[in-house]
Structure 1
Amino acid sequence: MTVLDRSAVDLPLSAAMRVGSMAEHEAAEHSSYMSELLGGRVNETGYADYLLRLRVVYDAMETTVRARLDDPAVAAVHDTALERLAAIDSDLEHWAPGRDREVVSPAADAYRERLAAAGAWGGLLVAHHYTRYLGDLSGGQAIGRILDRTFELDGAGTAFYAFPEIPKPKPYKDAYRARLDALELSVEDVARVVDEVKVAFRLNQALFTELGQNIDGYRR
Protein backbone atom coordinates (compact mmCIF):
# COMPACT_ATOMS: atom_id res chain seq x y z
CA MET A 1 0.00 0.00 0.00
CA THR A 2 1.32 3.43 -0.93
CA VAL A 3 1.52 6.07 1.77
CA LEU A 4 1.20 9.71 0.72
CA ASP A 5 3.77 12.18 2.00
CA ARG A 6 2.59 14.43 4.80
CA SER A 7 2.09 17.46 2.55
CA ALA A 8 -0.37 15.51 0.41
CA VAL A 9 -2.14 13.83 3.34
CA ASP A 10 -2.88 17.21 4.85
CA LEU A 11 -4.62 18.38 1.66
CA PRO A 12 -8.32 17.97 0.85
CA LEU A 13 -8.95 14.90 -1.32
CA SER A 14 -9.31 16.81 -4.59
CA ALA A 15 -6.03 18.65 -4.01
CA ALA A 16 -4.27 15.42 -3.02
CA MET A 17 -5.47 13.87 -6.28
CA ARG A 18 -4.15 16.79 -8.29
CA VAL A 19 -0.82 17.19 -6.49
CA GLY A 20 -0.15 13.49 -6.23
CA SER A 21 -0.57 12.86 -9.96
CA MET A 22 1.22 15.89 -11.43
CA ALA A 23 4.08 13.91 -12.96
CA GLU A 24 1.76 11.42 -14.66
CA HIS A 25 -0.53 14.22 -15.86
CA GLU A 26 2.33 16.12 -17.46
CA ALA A 27 3.74 12.98 -19.09
CA ALA A 28 0.39 12.27 -20.76
CA GLU A 29 0.06 15.85 -21.97
CA HIS A 30 3.50 15.82 -23.58
CA SER A 31 3.09 12.67 -25.67
CA SER A 32 3.98 12.97 -29.35
CA TYR A 33 0.40 12.33 -30.45
CA MET A 34 -1.06 14.98 -28.16
CA SER A 35 1.61 17.47 -29.20
CA GLU A 36 0.70 16.93 -32.85
CA LEU A 37 -3.03 17.13 -32.12
CA LEU A 38 -2.67 20.37 -30.18
CA GLY A 39 -0.53 21.71 -33.00
CA GLY A 40 -3.31 21.08 -35.51
CA ARG A 41 -1.21 18.49 -37.34
CA VAL A 42 -3.35 15.35 -36.95
CA ASN A 43 -5.57 14.38 -39.87
CA GLU A 44 -9.14 13.09 -39.85
CA THR A 45 -8.12 9.43 -39.63
CA GLY A 46 -5.80 10.10 -36.73
CA TYR A 47 -8.49 11.89 -34.79
CA ALA A 48 -11.10 9.22 -35.55
CA ASP A 49 -8.71 6.57 -34.25
CA TYR A 50 -8.45 8.55 -31.02
CA LEU A 51 -12.23 8.79 -30.73
CA LEU A 52 -12.61 5.05 -31.26
CA ARG A 53 -10.31 4.40 -28.31
CA LEU A 54 -12.14 6.95 -26.19
CA ARG A 55 -15.37 5.17 -27.06
CA VAL A 56 -14.06 1.98 -25.44
CA VAL A 57 -13.01 3.91 -22.34
CA TYR A 58 -16.21 5.88 -21.83
CA ASP A 59 -18.47 2.95 -22.57
CA ALA A 60 -16.68 0.97 -19.86
CA MET A 61 -16.61 3.81 -17.35
CA GLU A 62 -20.21 4.89 -17.79
CA THR A 63 -21.45 1.30 -17.62
CA THR A 64 -19.45 0.62 -14.46
CA VAL A 65 -20.50 3.89 -12.81
CA ARG A 66 -24.19 3.22 -13.41
CA ALA A 67 -23.77 -0.24 -11.88
CA ARG A 68 -22.20 1.22 -8.70
CA LEU A 69 -24.52 4.10 -7.85
CA ASP A 70 -25.19 2.38 -4.54
CA ASP A 71 -21.68 3.37 -3.46
CA PRO A 72 -21.75 6.79 -1.70
CA ALA A 73 -18.52 7.94 -3.34
CA VAL A 74 -19.77 7.12 -6.84
CA ALA A 75 -23.17 8.67 -6.14
CA ALA A 76 -21.45 11.86 -4.97
CA VAL A 77 -19.87 12.53 -8.39
CA HIS A 78 -22.28 10.84 -10.80
CA ASP A 79 -24.03 13.20 -13.20
CA THR A 80 -25.55 12.23 -16.54
CA ALA A 81 -24.63 15.70 -17.84
CA LEU A 82 -21.02 14.50 -17.91
CA GLU A 83 -21.57 11.33 -19.93
CA ARG A 84 -19.73 11.33 -23.24
CA LEU A 85 -20.59 8.10 -25.08
CA ALA A 86 -23.45 9.54 -27.14
CA ALA A 87 -21.32 12.59 -27.99
CA ILE A 88 -18.48 10.35 -29.16
CA ASP A 89 -20.84 8.40 -31.40
CA SER A 90 -22.15 11.66 -32.84
CA ASP A 91 -18.61 12.87 -33.55
CA LEU A 92 -17.64 9.59 -35.19
CA GLU A 93 -20.46 10.07 -37.67
CA HIS A 94 -18.69 13.26 -38.71
CA TRP A 95 -15.09 12.04 -38.69
CA ALA A 96 -15.59 8.44 -39.87
CA PRO A 97 -19.12 7.97 -41.25
CA GLY A 98 -20.02 4.34 -41.71
CA ARG A 99 -16.81 3.10 -40.11
CA ASP A 100 -16.94 0.05 -37.85
CA ARG A 101 -16.94 1.11 -34.20
CA GLU A 102 -14.72 -1.82 -33.21
CA VAL A 103 -11.04 -0.97 -32.80
CA VAL A 104 -7.96 -3.14 -32.32
CA SER A 105 -6.28 -1.44 -29.39
CA PRO A 106 -4.42 -3.23 -26.60
CA ALA A 107 -4.19 0.10 -24.77
CA ALA A 108 -7.94 0.67 -24.86
CA ASP A 109 -8.57 -2.94 -23.84
CA ALA A 110 -6.27 -2.56 -20.82
CA TYR A 111 -8.04 0.67 -19.87
CA ARG A 112 -11.44 -1.03 -20.13
CA GLU A 113 -10.29 -3.91 -17.93
CA ARG A 114 -8.95 -1.54 -15.29
CA LEU A 115 -12.22 0.38 -15.22
CA ALA A 116 -14.18 -2.82 -14.74
CA ALA A 117 -11.87 -3.78 -11.87
CA ALA A 118 -12.26 -0.31 -10.34
CA GLY A 119 -15.91 -1.10 -9.76
CA ALA A 120 -14.80 -3.19 -6.77
CA TRP A 121 -14.49 -0.02 -4.65
CA GLY A 122 -16.09 3.35 -5.25
CA GLY A 123 -12.92 5.29 -4.46
CA LEU A 124 -11.09 3.67 -7.36
CA LEU A 125 -13.92 4.43 -9.75
CA VAL A 126 -14.07 8.03 -8.54
CA ALA A 127 -10.36 8.37 -9.36
CA HIS A 128 -11.09 7.54 -13.01
CA HIS A 129 -14.25 9.65 -13.08
CA TYR A 130 -12.33 12.67 -11.79
CA THR A 131 -9.40 12.17 -14.15
CA ARG A 132 -11.48 11.90 -17.30
CA TYR A 133 -14.37 14.27 -16.77
CA LEU A 134 -12.56 17.12 -15.08
CA GLY A 135 -9.97 16.81 -17.81
CA ASP A 136 -12.73 17.10 -20.40
CA LEU A 137 -14.00 20.24 -18.70
CA SER A 138 -10.48 21.70 -18.49
CA GLY A 139 -7.78 21.01 -21.08
CA GLY A 140 -10.26 19.16 -23.25
CA GLN A 141 -11.92 22.45 -24.05
CA ALA A 142 -8.71 23.68 -25.67
CA ILE A 143 -8.56 20.58 -27.87
CA GLY A 144 -12.11 21.23 -29.04
CA ARG A 145 -11.26 24.81 -29.99
CA ILE A 146 -8.13 23.73 -31.86
CA LEU A 147 -10.04 21.12 -33.84
CA ASP A 148 -12.78 23.61 -34.66
CA ARG A 149 -10.27 26.17 -35.89
CA THR A 150 -7.97 23.73 -37.73
CA PHE A 151 -10.72 22.00 -39.69
CA GLU A 152 -13.07 25.01 -39.89
CA LEU A 153 -15.83 22.91 -38.35
CA ASP A 154 -18.16 25.61 -37.04
CA GLY A 155 -18.97 23.25 -34.18
CA ALA A 156 -19.49 20.09 -36.23
CA GLY A 157 -17.76 16.95 -34.97
CA THR A 158 -16.89 18.42 -31.58
CA ALA A 159 -19.81 17.24 -29.46
CA PHE A 160 -17.35 15.45 -27.18
CA TYR A 161 -16.16 18.84 -25.89
CA ALA A 162 -19.63 20.37 -25.57
CA PHE A 163 -21.48 20.15 -22.25
CA PRO A 164 -24.82 21.85 -22.93
CA GLU A 165 -26.04 21.19 -19.40
CA ILE A 166 -22.88 22.70 -17.90
CA PRO A 167 -22.68 26.24 -19.32
CA LYS A 168 -20.03 27.36 -16.81
CA PRO A 169 -17.33 24.72 -16.25
CA LYS A 170 -15.46 26.50 -13.45
CA PRO A 171 -18.27 26.63 -10.85
CA TYR A 172 -19.23 23.09 -11.83
CA LYS A 173 -15.68 21.86 -11.26
CA ASP A 174 -15.50 23.72 -7.95
CA ALA A 175 -18.70 22.02 -6.79
CA TYR A 176 -17.42 18.64 -7.99
CA ARG A 177 -14.21 19.06 -6.00
CA ALA A 178 -16.22 20.11 -2.96
CA ARG A 179 -18.19 16.85 -3.17
CA LEU A 180 -14.92 14.93 -3.32
CA ASP A 181 -13.58 16.79 -0.32
CA ALA A 182 -16.73 15.97 1.64
CA LEU A 183 -16.12 12.21 1.31
CA GLU A 184 -14.99 10.74 4.60
CA LEU A 185 -11.94 8.71 3.59
CA SER A 186 -9.10 7.47 5.75
CA VAL A 187 -5.50 8.42 5.00
CA GLU A 188 -5.01 4.95 3.57
CA ASP A 189 -8.03 5.31 1.31
CA VAL A 190 -6.84 8.71 0.09
CA ALA A 191 -3.55 7.04 -0.85
CA ARG A 192 -5.44 4.38 -2.79
CA VAL A 193 -7.45 7.02 -4.68
CA VAL A 194 -4.36 9.04 -5.56
CA ASP A 195 -2.57 5.91 -6.76
CA GLU A 196 -5.53 5.13 -9.01
CA VAL A 197 -5.48 8.65 -10.46
CA LYS A 198 -1.87 7.98 -11.39
CA VAL A 199 -2.94 4.73 -13.02
CA ALA A 200 -5.65 6.57 -14.96
CA PHE A 201 -3.14 9.04 -16.37
CA ARG A 202 -0.76 6.20 -17.30
CA LEU A 203 -3.56 4.39 -19.10
CA ASN A 204 -4.37 7.59 -20.94
CA GLN A 205 -0.71 8.01 -21.84
CA ALA A 206 -0.68 4.43 -23.16
CA LEU A 207 -3.48 5.39 -25.56
CA PHE A 208 -1.38 8.30 -26.82
CA THR A 209 1.73 6.12 -27.10
CA GLU A 210 -0.20 3.61 -29.16
CA LEU A 211 -1.53 6.35 -31.44
CA GLY A 212 1.94 7.83 -31.65
CA GLN A 213 3.21 4.65 -33.27
CA ASN A 214 1.39 5.73 -36.42
CA ILE A 215 2.02 9.45 -36.08
CA ASP A 216 3.62 9.75 -39.53
CA GLY A 217 0.45 8.35 -41.08
CA TYR A 218 -1.69 10.75 -39.10
CA ARG A 219 0.06 13.99 -39.97
CA ARG A 220 -1.83 16.53 -42.06
Structure 2
Amino acid sequence: MDAADATPFSTLIRTASHERHTEAESSTFMSDMLGGKLGVEAYARYTEQLWFVYRALEDAAEQLSDDPVAGPFVRRRELLRVASLERDLAHLHGGGDWRAAPEPLPATAAYAARVTEVARDWPAGYVAHHYTRYLGDLSGGQIIRSTAERTWGFARKGDGVRFYVFADIANPAAFKREYRELLDALPVDDLEKHRVIEECKRAFALNTAVFRELGDHFTPHRGPLSA
Protein backbone atom coordinates (compact mmCIF):
# COMPACT_ATOMS: atom_id res chain seq x y z
CA MET A 1 0.00 0.00 0.00
CA ASP A 2 1.49 3.34 -0.96
CA ALA A 3 1.28 6.54 1.10
CA ALA A 4 -1.67 7.85 -0.93
CA ASP A 5 -3.73 4.82 0.13
CA ALA A 6 -3.47 5.89 3.77
CA THR A 7 -4.28 9.54 3.12
CA PRO A 8 -7.93 10.52 3.75
CA PHE A 9 -9.73 11.50 0.57
CA SER A 10 -10.72 14.84 2.10
CA THR A 11 -7.01 15.61 2.49
CA LEU A 12 -6.23 14.49 -1.04
CA ILE A 13 -8.95 16.64 -2.58
CA ARG A 14 -7.97 19.69 -0.54
CA THR A 15 -4.28 19.33 -1.34
CA ALA A 16 -4.79 18.60 -5.03
CA SER A 17 -7.04 21.63 -5.53
CA HIS A 18 -5.00 24.03 -3.38
CA GLU A 19 -3.35 25.81 -6.31
CA ARG A 20 -6.65 26.37 -8.13
CA HIS A 21 -8.27 27.47 -4.86
CA THR A 22 -5.53 30.03 -4.24
CA GLU A 23 -5.84 31.30 -7.81
CA ALA A 24 -9.57 31.91 -7.30
CA GLU A 25 -9.12 33.64 -3.95
CA SER A 26 -6.37 35.92 -5.26
CA SER A 27 -8.18 37.04 -8.42
CA THR A 28 -7.99 40.75 -9.18
CA PHE A 29 -11.73 41.20 -8.78
CA MET A 30 -11.87 39.51 -5.39
CA SER A 31 -8.75 41.31 -4.18
CA ASP A 32 -10.16 44.66 -5.23
CA MET A 33 -13.56 43.97 -3.71
CA LEU A 34 -12.15 42.78 -0.40
CA GLY A 35 -9.68 45.66 -0.44
CA GLY A 36 -12.48 48.21 -0.57
CA LYS A 37 -11.58 49.39 -4.06
CA LEU A 38 -14.97 48.58 -5.58
CA GLY A 39 -18.42 49.93 -4.88
CA VAL A 40 -21.40 48.02 -3.60
CA GLU A 41 -22.60 47.52 -7.18
CA ALA A 42 -19.69 45.10 -7.71
CA TYR A 43 -20.74 43.14 -4.65
CA ALA A 44 -24.33 43.10 -5.91
CA ARG A 45 -23.23 41.80 -9.33
CA TYR A 46 -21.17 39.08 -7.68
CA THR A 47 -24.16 38.09 -5.53
CA GLU A 48 -26.29 37.82 -8.66
CA GLN A 49 -23.79 35.40 -10.20
CA LEU A 50 -23.83 33.27 -7.06
CA TRP A 51 -27.61 33.03 -7.36
CA PHE A 52 -27.36 31.36 -10.77
CA VAL A 53 -24.78 28.84 -9.56
CA TYR A 54 -26.62 27.99 -6.36
CA ARG A 55 -29.91 27.61 -8.18
CA ALA A 56 -28.23 24.94 -10.30
CA LEU A 57 -26.83 23.23 -7.22
CA GLU A 58 -30.09 23.29 -5.30
CA ASP A 59 -32.41 22.50 -8.19
CA ALA A 60 -30.47 19.25 -8.42
CA ALA A 61 -30.46 18.54 -4.69
CA GLU A 62 -34.00 17.14 -4.62
CA GLN A 63 -33.36 14.59 -7.34
CA LEU A 64 -30.09 13.53 -5.71
CA SER A 65 -31.31 13.32 -2.12
CA ASP A 66 -31.64 9.51 -2.28
CA ASP A 67 -28.55 8.91 -4.40
CA PRO A 68 -26.03 6.66 -2.59
CA VAL A 69 -23.09 8.85 -3.61
CA ALA A 70 -24.41 12.42 -3.56
CA GLY A 71 -27.39 11.97 -1.22
CA PRO A 72 -25.48 12.17 2.09
CA PHE A 73 -24.20 15.63 1.13
CA VAL A 74 -27.69 17.06 0.57
CA ARG A 75 -28.17 18.79 3.92
CA ARG A 76 -31.15 21.03 3.24
CA ARG A 77 -31.66 22.54 6.66
CA GLU A 78 -28.04 23.47 7.22
CA LEU A 79 -26.85 24.37 3.74
CA LEU A 80 -29.49 25.58 1.30
CA ARG A 81 -28.61 29.13 0.23
CA VAL A 82 -30.96 30.23 -2.55
CA ALA A 83 -33.58 31.75 -0.24
CA SER A 84 -30.89 33.75 1.58
CA LEU A 85 -29.41 34.91 -1.72
CA GLU A 86 -32.83 36.09 -2.86
CA ARG A 87 -33.35 38.05 0.34
CA ASP A 88 -29.93 39.65 -0.10
CA LEU A 89 -30.67 40.52 -3.72
CA ALA A 90 -34.00 42.11 -2.79
CA HIS A 91 -32.11 44.30 -0.32
CA LEU A 92 -29.32 45.12 -2.77
CA HIS A 93 -31.87 46.16 -5.39
CA GLY A 94 -33.74 48.39 -2.97
CA GLY A 95 -36.61 46.00 -2.40
CA GLY A 96 -37.84 46.22 -5.98
CA ASP A 97 -38.34 43.50 -8.55
CA TRP A 98 -34.74 42.34 -8.63
CA ARG A 99 -35.52 39.24 -10.69
CA ALA A 100 -35.79 41.36 -13.82
CA ALA A 101 -32.23 42.63 -13.36
CA PRO A 102 -29.77 39.70 -13.05
CA GLU A 103 -28.12 38.31 -16.15
CA PRO A 104 -25.57 35.52 -15.92
CA LEU A 105 -22.17 36.34 -17.30
CA PRO A 106 -21.04 33.84 -19.96
CA ALA A 107 -18.67 32.28 -17.42
CA THR A 108 -21.49 32.01 -14.90
CA ALA A 109 -23.78 30.36 -17.43
CA ALA A 110 -21.02 27.84 -18.23
CA TYR A 111 -20.47 27.18 -14.52
CA ALA A 112 -24.17 26.61 -13.81
CA ALA A 113 -24.51 24.43 -16.90
CA ARG A 114 -21.65 22.21 -15.76
CA VAL A 115 -23.26 21.80 -12.32
CA THR A 116 -26.54 20.81 -13.98
CA GLU A 117 -24.76 18.39 -16.31
CA VAL A 118 -22.91 16.48 -13.59
CA ALA A 119 -25.98 16.45 -11.33
CA ARG A 120 -27.87 14.71 -14.13
CA ASP A 121 -25.19 12.32 -15.33
CA TRP A 122 -22.53 11.92 -12.65
CA PRO A 123 -23.45 12.24 -8.94
CA ALA A 124 -19.83 11.98 -7.79
CA GLY A 125 -19.02 14.98 -9.97
CA TYR A 126 -21.85 16.88 -8.29
CA VAL A 127 -20.14 16.21 -4.97
CA ALA A 128 -17.03 18.00 -6.26
CA HIS A 129 -19.06 21.15 -6.96
CA HIS A 130 -21.00 20.81 -3.71
CA TYR A 131 -17.72 20.66 -1.78
CA THR A 132 -16.06 23.62 -3.48
CA ARG A 133 -19.07 25.89 -3.06
CA TYR A 134 -20.64 25.09 0.30
CA LEU A 135 -17.49 24.47 2.30
CA GLY A 136 -15.83 27.44 0.61
CA ASP A 137 -18.63 29.85 1.45
CA LEU A 138 -18.97 28.44 4.96
CA SER A 139 -15.26 29.06 5.50
CA GLY A 140 -13.68 31.83 3.41
CA GLY A 141 -17.07 33.37 2.73
CA GLN A 142 -17.03 34.74 6.26
CA ILE A 143 -14.24 37.10 5.23
CA ILE A 144 -16.47 38.44 2.46
CA ARG A 145 -19.33 38.89 4.93
CA SER A 146 -17.32 40.84 7.47
CA THR A 147 -15.75 42.98 4.73
CA ALA A 148 -19.15 43.76 3.22
CA GLU A 149 -20.55 44.72 6.62
CA ARG A 150 -17.63 47.02 7.30
CA THR A 151 -17.31 48.51 3.80
CA TRP A 152 -20.93 49.03 2.80
CA GLY A 153 -22.65 49.27 6.15
CA PHE A 154 -24.78 46.14 6.12
CA ALA A 155 -26.15 45.11 9.50
CA ARG A 156 -24.11 42.35 11.07
CA LYS A 157 -25.42 39.07 9.64
CA GLY A 158 -28.38 40.99 8.24
CA ASP A 159 -29.91 41.73 4.85
CA GLY A 160 -27.24 41.97 2.20
CA VAL A 161 -25.01 39.31 3.75
CA ARG A 162 -27.49 36.62 4.82
CA PHE A 163 -26.07 34.27 2.21
CA TYR A 164 -22.97 33.91 4.38
CA VAL A 165 -24.93 33.30 7.59
CA PHE A 166 -25.38 29.56 8.09
CA ALA A 167 -27.78 29.99 10.98
CA ASP A 168 -28.60 26.29 11.31
CA ILE A 169 -24.98 25.27 11.75
CA ALA A 170 -24.31 25.79 15.44
CA ASN A 171 -20.73 24.57 15.29
CA PRO A 172 -19.08 25.22 11.89
CA ALA A 173 -15.88 23.40 12.86
CA ALA A 174 -17.80 20.26 13.81
CA PHE A 175 -19.94 20.48 10.67
CA LYS A 176 -16.88 20.75 8.43
CA ARG A 177 -15.32 17.80 10.23
CA GLU A 178 -18.46 15.73 9.58
CA TYR A 179 -18.48 16.86 5.95
CA ARG A 180 -14.88 15.72 5.49
CA GLU A 181 -15.79 12.38 7.02
CA LEU A 182 -18.46 12.03 4.33
CA LEU A 183 -15.82 12.73 1.69
CA ASP A 184 -13.52 10.14 3.24
CA ALA A 185 -16.36 7.59 3.07
CA LEU A 186 -17.35 8.41 -0.53
CA PRO A 187 -18.48 5.03 -1.93
CA VAL A 188 -16.45 5.08 -5.16
CA ASP A 189 -13.19 3.46 -6.26
CA ASP A 190 -9.80 5.13 -6.55
CA LEU A 191 -10.20 5.90 -10.25
CA GLU A 192 -13.49 7.65 -9.57
CA LYS A 193 -11.94 9.58 -6.69
CA HIS A 194 -9.28 10.82 -9.09
CA ARG A 195 -12.03 12.01 -11.44
CA VAL A 196 -13.73 13.81 -8.53
CA ILE A 197 -10.47 15.60 -7.71
CA GLU A 198 -10.15 16.70 -11.33
CA GLU A 199 -13.76 17.95 -11.28
CA CYS A 200 -12.99 19.86 -8.11
CA LYS A 201 -10.14 21.58 -9.93
CA ARG A 202 -12.52 22.32 -12.79
CA ALA A 203 -15.02 23.85 -10.36
CA PHE A 204 -12.39 26.24 -9.05
CA ALA A 205 -11.38 27.11 -12.63
CA LEU A 206 -15.02 27.86 -13.51
CA ASN A 207 -15.27 30.08 -10.44
CA THR A 208 -12.06 31.88 -11.39
CA ALA A 209 -13.48 32.51 -14.87
CA VAL A 210 -16.48 34.24 -13.26
CA PHE A 211 -14.12 36.45 -11.25
CA ARG A 212 -12.19 37.25 -14.41
CA GLU A 213 -15.33 38.38 -16.24
CA LEU A 214 -16.47 40.40 -13.23
CA GLY A 215 -13.04 42.00 -13.24
CA ASP A 216 -13.55 42.97 -16.87
CA HIS A 217 -16.68 44.90 -15.84
CA PHE A 218 -15.23 46.69 -12.84
CA THR A 219 -12.04 48.62 -12.23
CA PRO A 220 -10.95 50.32 -9.00
CA HIS A 221 -12.81 53.55 -8.20
CA ARG A 222 -14.60 53.64 -11.55
CA GLY A 223 -17.47 51.22 -11.06
CA PRO A 224 -18.92 49.29 -13.99
CA LEU A 225 -17.42 49.70 -17.41
CA SER A 226 -19.66 50.33 -20.36
CA ALA A 227 -20.18 47.39 -22.65
AA of the residue aligned to 1:111: Y
The answer for the alignment partner of 1:53 in structure 2 is 49
The answer for the alignment partner of 1:160 in structure 2 is 163
Deviation at 1:38, TM superposition (A): 1.3
- What is the DSSP-based 3-state SS (H/G/I as helix, E as strand, rest coil) of the residue aligned with 1:103? coil
The answer for the alignment partner of 2:136 in structure 1 is 135
Find 1:96's aligned residue among 87, 93, 96.
93
Could you tell me how far apart the structure 2 residues matched to 1:166 and 1:149 are?
23
Deviation at 1:11, TM superposition (A): 2.0
Deviation at 1:9, TM superposition (A): 5.3
What residue ranges of structure 1 are gaps of 5+ in the alignment? Answer: 1-5
1:109 corresponds to 2:109: yes
- What is the DSSP-based 3-state SS (H/G/I as helix, E as strand, rest coil) of the residue aligned with 1:137? helix
Could you tell me how far apart the structure 2 residues matched to 1:210 and 1:7 are?
40
Root-mean-square deviation (CA, aligned residues, Å) is 1.6
Provide runs of 4+ in structure 1 moved above 4 Å.
Answer: 6-10
Find 1:65's aligned residue among 55, 61, 64.
61
Deviation at 1:70, TM superposition (A): 2.6
Greater Cα offset, 90-99 or 80-89: 90-99
Judged with a 3 Å threshold, the aligned counterparts in structure 2 of structure 1 residues 75 and 104 are, in CA distance, closer, same or farther, namely closer
% of aligned pairs identical?
Answer: 39
> Normalised by the size of structure 1, how large is the TM-score?
0.92
Deviation at 1:17, TM superposition (A): 1.0
Contact 1:123–1:193 at 8 Å: present in 2 too?
yes
1:38 corresponds to 2:34: yes
Aligned residues: 214
Deviations 1:99-135 (A, max 9, x none): 3243041011101110111111211000000000000
The answer for the alignment partner of 2:217 in structure 1 is 214
What residue ranges of structure 2 are gaps of 5+ in the alignment? Answer: none
The answer for the alignment partner of 2:21 in structure 1 is 25
Greater Cα offset, 168-177 or 178-187: 178-187
Deviation at 1:43, TM superposition (A): 1.1
The answer for the alignment partner of 1:150 in structure 2 is 151
Greater Cα offset, 182-191 or 205-214: 182-191
Deviation at 1:215, TM superposition (A): 2.0
Judged with a 3 Å threshold, the aligned counterparts in structure 2 of structure 1 residues 9 and 43 are, in CA distance, closer, same or farther, namely farther
1:123 corresponds to 2:124: yes
The answer for the alignment partner of 1:75 in structure 2 is 71
Contact 1:76–1:180 at 8 Å: present in 2 too?
no
Find 1:84's aligned residue among 42, 64, 81.
81
Deviations 1:67-105 (A, max 9, x none): 122311211111112111111111111112323243041
